[in-house]
Structure 1
Amino acid sequence: MASRVALKGKGKSGKGSKASENRSTAKCLKEWSTWAVKKAKVITHYGFIPLVIIIGMNSEPKPQLSQLLSPV
């Protein structure tokens, strides 16, 4: 049993080129947004507590680091 090979024409086609460009742009946008959300989650996860400590140390009255880290 012989396998069939479908040949696609190369070059510009009137209606198909715009649709493929839109699909590739949409796919690229989706991949980029997924990548950005993953990076934002990692940055938020590891950066939140240090940010709170830095903001706490720059507030008035100036607490010591041990006072910021102790639960009481």
Structure 2
Amino acid sequence: MASNVSLKGKEKAGKGSKSSEERSAKCVKEWSTWAMKKAKVITHYGFIPLIVIIGMNSEPKPQLYQLLSPV
């Protein structure tokens, strides 16, 4: 009967526990998803201002309305 109890204990520990590799893989996946979402938002809202800043620092120096006008 003692061997029966120890076998049940080993089964529960083996099924319920996750290895550190599984946990780290899940953490990396969550982090990369979070980072990609943030990069998408930064790129979306930062592209046009970046182009305006680069345009204003070029030679010859245009005025802001010249950069934004379609002509």
- Which aligned runs of 4 or more in structure 1 are off by greater than 6 angstroms? none
- Percent identity over paired residues: 75
TM-score (norm 1): 0.76
Matched length: 60
Q: CA RMSD in A?
A: 2.1
Q: Which runs of 5+ in 2 are unaligned?
A: 1-7
Residue type at the aligned position of 1:40: A
Structure holding more helix per residue? 2
Match of 1:71 in 2: 70
User: Which of 1 and 2 has greater Rg?
Assistant: 2
- Output the CA distance in 1 between the equivalents of 2:19 and 2:26: 10
Give unpaired runs (5+ residues) of structure 1. 1-5
Give runs of aligned pairs for residues 36-47 of structure 1, distance below 5 A. 36-47=35-46
How far does residue 54 in structure 1 lie from its aligned partner after superposition? 0.3
TM-score normalised by structure 2 residue count? 0.77
